[in-house]
Structure 1
């Protein structure tokens, strides 16, 4: 079972997640030893693959650097769970296939070193020491698919562009027109092509 590393303070920023002095690489393994070092110098040495960070609100505020996601993932962290995230950090997490889960009351439910049972399908996390179980904001299937692929670029490589367009652009609402500009022109072009 993964262990929990609690960083209970609100507004932990990207400079604390990975200090700017280490932004000389984008290789996760090279960033990993410096993850959270200004907050806790022993953190990276204690992390085991799949461990979880429990953090206070607005985690990942500050700059938009993706290094903040890469450093934690490189260190072995499987997910960060907080009441909420800075929006750019949250989006970077999705784009990089990294789990950022929003869960009210999470900081109060865990102590550093507790073991957790994370159920992505059921949308729960349980503290195995206390038995307390919390429900987190469900993860969209799209985000899970991107996470499974290893990130947005990998997800795109795995999916044919035509299949993506078929799944998103040819929805019932777009096929029916519903006043979308150019819909009549599209129909005229199709009829013209069919006649030719």
Structure 2
């Protein structure tokens, strides 16, 4: 896990559920097969209606239909990100689409744990509502050591909640890699 994450923001609203993140019809793909893994990226956030997602006027698409990777690297979301079903494919889909971090006001517990357990992406929580202060396309920098997010486009910086005890799990690449590293599982 890098201590600095940079990239363009994609802003979503409240209550983005796992069915919106990766619709059920695409769960037939196997993420352990490289050709199928990239399909998760292609269909990530492909069915989020603009009105539900709190997207900017004119709905900025997450990516075009023929792309597998989004031009965005950081999602900024509102409350209850990843709610709905306990589908572990949701953080996989975002990672396959090129997302390195999600910054939300708070998460549905299962999405948060699935993100960490698989080491797919860094789930961070904001101390203030950022969806009203950051625009899709803004250039962002996340400093994990100092728990800050800077909007390079506007020059504003906000404090984030630190990763705490989950940081070593993410640094190891997920729960199983962490367990091997600390001797809980054989190498």
TM-score (norm 1): 0.75
Give the corresponding residue for 2:45.
36
Give the structure 2 partner of residue 4 of structure 1.
Answer: 9
- Match of 1:116, SS state, is strand
Match of 1:16 among 20, 27, 36: 20
Structure 1 runs not aligned, ≥5 long: 163-196
Specify which structure has the bigger relative contact order, considering alpha-carbon pairs within 8 angstroms and separated by 6 or more residues. 2
Q: How many residues align?
A: 160
The answer on whether the counterparts of 1:26 and 1:67 sit within 8 Å (CA) in structure 2 is no
Task: Specify which structure has the higher proportion of helix.
Answer: 1
Partners of 2:105 and 2:25 in 1: CA distance: 29
User: SS at the partner of 1:101?
Assistant: strand
Matches within 5 A, 1:2-151: 2-7=7-12, 9-27=13-31, 28-39=37-48, 42-44=61-63, 45=67, 47-48=70-71, 51-97=73-119, 98-103=121-126, 104-140=128-164, 142-151=165-174
RMSD: 2.1
Give the Cα–Cα distance (whole angstroms) in 2 for the partners of residues 26 and 54 of structure 1: 27
Report the Cα distance in structure 1 between the residues aligned to 2:149 and 2:133, rounded to whole angstroms: 10
Question: 1:153 is matched with which residue?
Answer: 176
> Contact 1:16 / 1:38 at 8 angstroms: preserved in 2?
yes
Structure exhibiting the larger radius of gyration computed from Cα positions: 1
TM-score computed with the length of structure 2 as normaliser:
0.79
- Unaligned 5+ runs, structure 2: 1-5, 32-36, 50-59
